[in-house]
Structure 1
Amino acid sequence: MSVVEPPPRAVAARSRLLRAAVEAFAAKGFTTTTTRDIATGAQMSPAAVYVHFKSKEEVLYELSDAGHRSFLRLIDASDDPEQSPALRLRAVIGALAAHHARDHVWSRVVNYELDSLSPEHRAAIEVMRKEVAARVGAIVGAGIADGAFDVDDPKATTTLLLSMGVDVARWYRESGAMTPEQIGEFHADMAARIVGARESDAGT
């Protein structure tokens, strides 16, 4: 059975609404934002949201789903299992931190509006969040196994590494002193220190 693709105009309209929703949710929060705010931001009629989405919550879910899928793709692109655990950790944590700075508005919505999702949608997002943690946790575990990392609590350490990257989206602004790339490098250095990686292993 062939899949019927939506017409280009519909795809473009959905994209405009999603972009407008990101800005509105980031500025006003999900609860305060109205569908009219989203439609106005997209320069569309107030009814436009319901033409393409069932509800305001579904708009948030689509943003959250896309955002977390992008986190997983970024880990896939950054992590080279052939490298040492220290270099793998630097690459992944650095890439995630830079991403949260570069796309800080979207990332802020994706990470800080989870409680506004329906239970079903929250559960779906949690599956991906657990997968992100599992992949970073596996790198931490590999470093512990070969003696490269000095870590007492792998789970808590993994949570710390991910949390400090996520928090970049909350405070980063383009007017700040550091570029996303510099933030990524700083977080890579911090990650190596947190796990007690030897300088020779971490490439520093």
Structure 2
Amino acid sequence: MSQSPAPPRRRRGNARGEQTRSVLLAAAVRSFADRGFHGTSTRDIALAAEMSPAVMYAHYATKEELLFELSIDGHRSVQALLETEVRRHTTTTDRLRAAAACFGQWHAEFHLQARVVQYELDALSEEHLAEVTVLRRAIQGRFGELIRNGVDEGSFQVADVEMTAMSLTSLGIDVARWYRSTGKWTPEQIGRHHGRLALRAVGVAG
């Protein structure tokens, strides 16, 4: 199925170049999701974008560069969304619920991109993987911070803060693996469910 990647968190060049890159990124998402990174050629992506390989190479020298841009933009998008939702609330309980809800919902709404960037990490170059890993650790660390705040104030009962944070982010990430737009639940329903699960994980009735 067709799905555009999450809105990019960085801009490069003129409007025409940005439009071309957006088309290529959307084609890469579809191609990587259908065939996997290693099963997709640059020609496959160019054909999916209805462009010549020469046009693609003018913007991306390799398919790994496309994967990296999808990965970095996806992680930056979900991190920005996470911070926005956390800032909308004042209590630790509401903040954790909102964080888990938006994280799960994002992985459903952008499930093709999420599936690619979460499960094709090994295809990134060492340098690119290191850059993406910084963002992944920051996202998990934000969950850990929210949980730790609740524990410190006595609102949450958690034996291991780090493990709980990892469990909650892993739960959200896994949505991209099983979610289908033709399925039973909407991204919003999934998000609300994940918010309730997060509270139960820290000993609060959701």
* TM-score of Structure 1 vs Structure 2, range by shorter chain: over 0.9
The verdict on how the C-alpha distance between 1:45 and 1:92 changes in structure 2, with shifts beyond 3 A counting, is: same
- Aligned to 1:162, the other structure's residue is in SS state helix
Q: In the alignment, is residue 85 of structure 1 matched against residue 85 of structure 2?
A: no
Normalising by structure 2, we get a TM-score of 0.91
The verdict on how the C-alpha distance between 1:124 and 1:77 changes in structure 2, with shifts beyond 3 A counting, is: same
Normalising by structure 1, we get a TM-score of 0.92
Which residues of 2 match residues 1-204 of structure 1 at below 5 A?
6-80=13-87, 83-197=90-204, 199=205, 204=206
Deviation at 1:99, TM superposition (A): 0.8
Deviation at 1:166, TM superposition (A): 0.5
Deviation at 1:134, TM superposition (A): 1.1
Structure number, greater radius of gyration: 1
Gaps of 5+ in 1: none
Deviation at 1:12, TM superposition (A): 1.2
Any runs of at least 4 consecutive aligned residues in structure 1 with deviations exceeding 3 A, and if so which? Answer: none
1:89 aligned partner, one-letter code: L
1:117 aligned partner, one-letter code: L
The Cα offsets for residues 141-186 of structure 1, whole Å up to 9 and x where unpaired, read as 0011011111001111000000000000110001111111000011
1:32 aligned partner, one-letter code: G
Deviation at 1:6, TM superposition (A): 2.4
Deviation at 1:55, TM superposition (A): 1.0
Q: How many residues end up aligned between the 2 structures? A: 195
Gaps of 5+ in 2: 1-11
Deviation at 1:46, TM superposition (A): 2.1
